[in-house]
Amino acid sequence: MATTALTRQNRRKIFLHKIGFGVLFFVLSVITLAFLVPLFWLLSSSLKENTELFSVPVKWLPSKPRFENFIRMFTYFPFTLYLRNTLIIVFFNIVGSTISSAVAAYGFSRLYWKGRDKVFVIVLITMILPFQVIMVPLFMLFQRIGWIGTFLPLTLTCFFGNPFYIFLIRQFFLSLPLELNDAARIDGANEFRIFSRIAIPLSTPVLATVAIFSFLKTWNDFIGPLIFLANQKLYTLSIGAQMIRSRLQPNWEILMPLGVVMVLPVLIMFFFMQKYFIQGIAMSGIKG
C-alpha cells in the first residue's frame, strides 16, 4: 500500500511538473512572439511599396518583394559616409570605455587607498544625472575649446570611464580571489602586470558585456551627435534616419530598409556574444 501511495505521489509530482513546464513554455512563447512580430513587420515593410505599408486590412507580406529598396537606400542619402562616421565613433567608444572603466574599476576593487569607498560613492551618484542636465554645460565647454563640429566630444571623452561600466567591472573584480594578487606580488609582479596578466584575462565575460553596452549606447545615440556634430559630413546613421523622417513626406521605402540595416548589427552582436553577456551579468553579482 505504501508503495502504491508513493507511486501515485510521484505521478502527481510528474504531472504537476509537466503542467508547470507547459505553462512556462507558453508564456515564454508569447513573450518571444511579442518581440519577433515587430522585427518581422520591419523586415516585411522594407520590401513593400509605400501604398502597401498603410493598406487596410494589413498586409503582412509584400505582394511583390522590392529588393531594390535596399539599393535605393545607398543612393538616396550619403549612407556610406554616415556609416563610416558611426563606426568610427562606435570603435573609439568601445575601446575607450572598456579600457578606462577597467582601469578605474581595478583601482576601486583591488587597491587600497584612503577615501577609496567615498570616491566610489561619488562615482555612483553621477549615474543618476541624466544627460539632459549636463548637456548645456558640456556644449559650452566643448565650444570654448573648439571641439564642436568634430568627433572629439563623442570619442575622447569615453577614455575617462563610465560610472555604470566601472561599477559593473568592479563587482566582477571583487569576485576574483585576492590570493591571485598576493601570489603575483610574491613572484615580483607589479600592479600593472597583475592587472594586464591576471585581472584582464579573467574578466573576458564582463569586458564583453561592457563592449556590448557601449556598442548599443553609441550605435543608437541620437542626441549626442545631433548636438556636437555641427558638420553634416560628420553625421551618423541615426541623424540620417531622422533627417529622412522629418521631411513633410517621409520616404518609407528608404526608412524601412535603413531600419533593418540599423537593427541587424545589434542582433548579430548579441547573437554571437550572448554567452559572454549573460555570464558577465551573472558573475558581476547584479540581479534583476
Q: Is 188 left (phi over 0), alpha (psi -120 to 50) or beta?
A: left
pLDDT band at 41 (very low <50, low <70, confident <90, very high): confident
Nearest in space to 262 (alpha carbons), one of 245, 286, 240, 230? 240
- How far, in Å, CA of 137 to CA of 131, rounded? 10
Q: At what angle do helices 79-109 and 163-174 cross, to 10 degrees?
A: 50
- From the list 20, 71, 23, the residue with the least C-alpha distance to 47 is 71
pLDDT number for residue 282: 62
Helices (H) and strands (E) in the chain, counts: 15, 0
- Residue 204 pLDDT > 90, yes or no? no
Contact between 110 and 181 (Cβ < 8 Å) = yes
Q: Report the distance separating Cα 26 and Cα 28, nearest Å.
A: 6
More confident residue, 137 or 61: 137
Higher-scoring residue by pLDDT: 23, 163: 163
- What DSSP character marks residue 58? -
pLDDT digits (tens, 9 = 90+) for 69-81: 888 888 888 888 9
Rounded to whole angstroms, the Cα distance separating 36 from 114 reads: 51
For residue 92, is pLDDT > 90?
Answer: yes
Region of poorest pLDDT, from 98-107, 159-168, 235-244, 250-259: 250-259
Question: pLDDT digit string (tens) for 172-202?
Answer: 888 888 888 888 888 888 888 888 888 888 8
Q: Retrieve residue 285's grid coordinates.
A: 553579482
Write the CB contacts of 40 (distance below 8 Å, at least 6 apart in sequence): 60
